[in-house]
């Protein structure tokens, strides 16, 4: 790639007009319309010992819709199980999950599966906070490098966006605090009280509260509804991601409600009884309908673990009127455990309850997500409107097999995201980025003026050479690109920047040495206030007639409030950029849409950053970071260190920042002394009062 030259000409345009710049398709597209929707069903098949059954054919499955046999129109066996490593081979080095990912790609295999970890902090006893955290941490560790994930709390606090960065999930998990005051599960009664308040307006005593324990407070009711709504909204959000395995992993102690029969027909038992108030049943039914429409399987883990008979009195505190329940169906703990089972099985998953082997239960969940069959069918009888339709799937001749699948569906696809006439915005409207055009993205918050940071961004595009080659054997394209800034706290887009570019590349020897694909980089800088953001970058290639998007989570610190702080670390090659870089001419005006950060034209980085994080031992890197301090008269001592996977120092460099110096540090890092492996480049800064650190990870081969 270093043999190529690149010329970028930036065209003055506003982001709102980018869609108009896309060339019309030269070939008319034929559209086939059908009133019958293809129904996809994920099916897990295991034997009596719980082992996955592999190698089944389409003809092995029988499927009925409302007891009417259906033809399986589409079929695929999907397996994510990695091959057993060769005993003689050395395992590939990996970076620790707690290390923040500073580069994101839309080509990662993690995009094949989409997992929502739902921590039901509203229905977990406070004394089990750490146990629930450990469970969620195990899920992130076991699934995080194989799936894109989000962490949702039913309280609504500290939830994350969907990400491939496990450090984001782990950081959010550390904030978790269970909120249920009593061990006893929430009741689910549709007639609520406005809390346990005495006639004189004071809170009831503990004894009076126990006497009222068979009633439910308005707070309990609202917390129940909030759990159901959280899962319903998350399922609806995943509805457009049809080609991925989607699942919830719910960590919850459940609620005190009989759920048997609620999910098996169009009307719930409460509705059949003509009761005026069926709030819980209807909310549960709506939640399940969203999961079934979106083909989302739910798995549950109960952090209670094993509840022995001798533990029941303690778990039922405060005890119900009349003493402990004698029968299972009248026992609030058993009802909550069974309810998790009914809910998960109806969606195609299962619950791990009343066992201390939660690690083994999680492993079974991983196995379910590793191997499944994807069946699709067109209903032979589309009549019936939007009424619930039960599904049954069997494997012919094997009644001993256990099959897990969604037990029914309601016709109609989940609501589609709002249409946007701008194709660049449409590319970033989904939960997951679009991968048709390979992209990578990095962003580095640097010290700015006051509390505002200059965020240096690099967007990297890769395209096939054959599609970009002109008649004169040069590579050219018209590219439009955009970056949306989503404020995590406000849950909305705060700004957007957009540009258009014409590029021309040529190789040496008349282009005879052109590689199969060409990669080029687009730099820009944004000014952002402190906060947590998700950057959603998109690009469209006129030559390829396609586009892609890539998402990156960043935290912008408030450097102005910190006595001593370090920015992140930018990496580059000491011998120059390895990919062409298109620069904004100094005279080109910045173009923004709406309020928010402005695009800053000048570059802050002293070299072209690389988005690679895997290097050769023969490489020498350049590294850049910035030191922010309130007391400009102080001297800051710096230690630059590379440590291995065991935290052993492999290379150390000492530097310092003199009084009144800028604090912009640019240095070289030879990789030859390291050898192959996973390493962290760690920088520690100290003055007379404060210590600050920053680090990034690299793989050397």
pLDDT at residue 36 above 60? yes
pLDDT at residue 362 above 80? yes
The alpha carbons of the chain give a radius of gyration, in whole angstroms, of 28
Note whether 654 and 593 are same-domain residues. Answer: no
Q: Which two tokens stand for residue 57?
A: 């054919």
Return the pLDDT at 688.
84
pLDDT at residue 462 above 90? yes
CATH of the domain at 538: 2.60.40.2550
CA distance linking residue 674 with residue 4, whole number of Å: 31
pLDDT at residue 13 above 80? no
356: closest CA among 299, 298, 303, 311? Answer: 303
Phi, psi of 699 (to 5 degrees): -115, 130
- Find out whether 456 and 446 touch, Cβ atoms under 8 Å: yes
The full DSSP string for 118-161 is: EE-GGGSBGGGHHHHHHHHHHHHHHHTTTSEEEEEETT-SS---
626: closest CA among 565, 699, 696, 701? Answer: 565
Asked which of 605, 626, 657 is the last residue of a domain, the reply is: 605
Q: Which residue has the higher pLDDT, 506 or 482?
A: 482
Q: What is the pLDDT of residues 198-208, one digit of tens each?
A: 334 344 444 34
In this prediction, residues 83-92 reach a mean pLDDT of 66
**Parallel/antiparallel/unpaired status of strands 691-700 and 614-615:** parallel
CA distance linking residue 278 with residue 297, whole number of Å: 25
**Residue 213's pLDDT band (boundaries 50, 70, 90)?**
very low
Note whether 322 and 175 are same-domain residues. Answer: yes
- Find out whether 244 and 297 touch, Cβ atoms under 8 Å: no
Q: How far apart are the first and last CA of the chain?
A: 20
Return the pLDDT at 570.
97
CA distance linking residue 569 with residue 102, whole number of Å: 9
Q: Collect all residues with Cβ–Cβ distance below 8 Å to 294 and sequence separation of at least 6.
A: 235, 236, 238, 239, 246, 414
In this prediction, residues 508-534 reach a mean pLDDT of 83
Return the pLDDT at 616.
96
Note whether 317 and 219 are same-domain residues. Answer: yes
Q: Which two tokens stand for residue 357?
A: 């082997």
In this prediction, residues 462-488 reach a mean pLDDT of 88
Note whether 133 and 243 are same-domain residues. Answer: yes
Return the pLDDT at 585.
52
Return the pLDDT at 422.
87
Note whether residue 98 is domain-resident.
no
C-alpha torsion angle, residues 320, 325, 331, 333 (rounded to 10): 60
In this prediction, residues 542-553 reach a mean pLDDT of 94
Range of the domain at 252: 113-377
Q: What is the pLDDT of residues 635-666, one digit of tens each?
A: 999 999 999 999 999 999 999 999 999 999 99
Query: DSSP state, 407?
Result: -
Note whether 574 and 657 are same-domain residues. Answer: no
In this prediction, residues 155-180 reach a mean pLDDT of 94
**Residue 509's pLDDT band (boundaries 50, 70, 90)?**
low
Note whether residue 128 is domain-resident.
yes
Note whether 128 and 238 are same-domain residues. Answer: yes
447: closest CA among 638, 168, 639, 694? Answer: 694
Note whether 445 and 501 are same-domain residues. Answer: yes
Note whether residue 587 is domain-resident.
yes
Q: What is the pLDDT of residues 64-83, one digit of tens each?
A: 999 999 999 999 999 886 65
pLDDT > 90: percent of the chain: 63
Note whether 588 and 626 are same-domain residues. Answer: no
Return the pLDDT at 12.
31
The Cβ-side half-sphere exposure at 350, using a 13 Å CA radius, reads 20
User: 335-368 as b/e, with b when 16 or more CB fall inside 10 Å?
Assistant: bbbbbbbbbbbbbbbbbbbbeeebeebbeebbbb
Which range, 161-165, 223-227, 604-608, is most confident?
223-227
CATH of the domain at 617: 2.60.40.1930
Asked which of 605, 624, 651 is the last residue of a domain, the reply is: 605
650: closest CA among 677, 615, 626? Answer: 677
CA distance linking residue 478 with residue 464, whole number of Å: 14
Q: Name the domain count of the chain.
A: 3
Helices 279-293/332-347 angle, 10° precision = 30
**Residue 583's pLDDT band (boundaries 50, 70, 90)?**
low
Asked which of 377, 412, 436 is the last residue of a domain, the reply is: 377
Average pLDDT, the chain: 84
Return the pLDDT at 342.
97
pLDDT at residue 513 above 80? no
CA distance linking residue 585 with residue 530, whole number of Å: 28
Which range, 152-156, 426-430, 580-584, is most confident?
152-156
Please calculate the CA angle 374-375-379 and round it to the nearest 5 degrees: 150
């Amino acid at each position: 790639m270093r043999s190529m030259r690149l010329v970028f000409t930036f065209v003055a345009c506003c982001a709102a007009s980018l869609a108009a710049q896309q060339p019309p398709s030269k070939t008319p597209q034929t559209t086939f319309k059908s009133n019958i929707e293809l129904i996809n069903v994920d099916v897990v098949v295991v034997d009596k010992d719980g082992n996955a059954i592999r190698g089944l054919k389409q003809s092995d499955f029988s499927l009925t819709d409302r007891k009417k046999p259906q033809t399986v129109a589409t079929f695929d066996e999907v397996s994510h199980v990695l091959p057993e490593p060769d005993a003689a081979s050395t395992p590939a080095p990996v970076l620790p999950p707690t290390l923040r990912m500073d580069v994101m790609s839309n080509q990662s295999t993690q995009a094949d599966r989409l997992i929502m970890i739902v921590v039901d902090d509203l229905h977990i006893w406070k004394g089990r906070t750490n146990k629930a955290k450990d469970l969620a941490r195990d899920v992130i560790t076991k699934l995080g490098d194989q799936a894109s994930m989000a962490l949702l709390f039913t309280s609504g606090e500290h939830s994350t966006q969907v990400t491939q960065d496990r450090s984001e999930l782990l950081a959010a998990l550390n904030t978790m605090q269970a909120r249920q005051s009593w061990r006893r599960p929430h009741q689910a009664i549709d007639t609520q009280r406005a809390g346990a308040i005495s006639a004189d307006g004071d809170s009831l005593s503990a004894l009076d509260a126990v006497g009222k324990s068979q009633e439910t407070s308005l707070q309990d009711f609202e917390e129940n509804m909030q759990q159901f709504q959280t899962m319903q909204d998350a399922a609806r959000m995943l509805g457009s991601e049809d080609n991925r395995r989607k699942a919830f992993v719910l960590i919850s102690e459940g609620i005190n409600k009989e759920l048997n029969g609620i999910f098996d027909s169009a009307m719930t038992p409460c509705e059949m009884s003509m009761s005026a108030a069926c709030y819980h049943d209807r909310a549960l039914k709506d939640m399940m309908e969203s999961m079934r429409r979106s083909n989302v399987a739910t798995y549950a883990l109960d952090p209670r673990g094993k509840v022995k008979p001798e533990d029941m009195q303690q778990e039922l505190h405060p005890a119900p009127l009349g003493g402990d329940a004698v029968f299972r169906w009248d026992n609030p703990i058993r009802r909550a455990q069974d309810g998790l089972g009914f809910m998960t099985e109806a969606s195609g998953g299962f619950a791990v309850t009343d066992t201390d082997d939660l690690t083994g239960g999680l492993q079974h969940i991983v196995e379910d997500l590793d191997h499944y069959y994807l069946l699709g069918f067109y209903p032979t009888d589309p009549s019936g409107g939007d009424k619930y339709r039960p599904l049954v799937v069997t494997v012919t001749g094997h009644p001993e097999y256990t099959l897990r699948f969604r037990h029914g569906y309601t016709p109609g696809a989940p609501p589609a995201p709002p249409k946007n006439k701008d194709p660049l915005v449409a590319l970033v409207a989904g939960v997951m980025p679009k991968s048709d055009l390979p992209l990578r993205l990095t962003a580095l918050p640097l010290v700015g003026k006051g509390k505002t940071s200059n965020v240096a961004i690099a967007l990297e595009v890769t395209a096939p050479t054959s599609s970009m080659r002109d008649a004169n054997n040069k590579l050219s394209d018209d590219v439009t690109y955009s970056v949306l800034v989503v404020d995590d706290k406000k849950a909305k887009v705060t700004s957007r920047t957009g540009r258009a570019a014409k590029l021309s590349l040529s190789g040496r020897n008349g282009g005879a040495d052109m590689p199969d694909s060409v990669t080029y980089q687009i730099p820009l800088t944004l000014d952002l206030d402190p906060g947590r953001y998700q950057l959603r970058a998109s690009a469209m290639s006129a030559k390829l007639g396609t586009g892609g998007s890539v998402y990156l989570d960043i935290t912008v610190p408030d450097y102005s409030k910190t006595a001593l702080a370090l920015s992140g670390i930018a990496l580059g090659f000491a011998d120059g950029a390895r990919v062409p870089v298109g620069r904004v001419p100094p005279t080109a005006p910045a173009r923004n849409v709406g309020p928010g950060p402005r695009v800053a034209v000048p570059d802050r980085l002293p070299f072209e950053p690389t988005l690679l994080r895997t290097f050769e031992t023969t490489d020498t890197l350049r590294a850049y970071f910035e030191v922010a301090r309130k007391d400009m008269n102080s001297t800051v001592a710096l230690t630059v260190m590379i440590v291995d996977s065991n935290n052993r120092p492999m290379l150390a460099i000492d530097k310092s920042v003199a009084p009144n110096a800028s604090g912009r540090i640019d240095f070289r890092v030879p990789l030859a002394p390291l050898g192959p492996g996973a390493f962290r480049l760690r920088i520690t800064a100290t003055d007379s009062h404060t210590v600050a650190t920053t680090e990034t990870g690299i793989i050397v081969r």
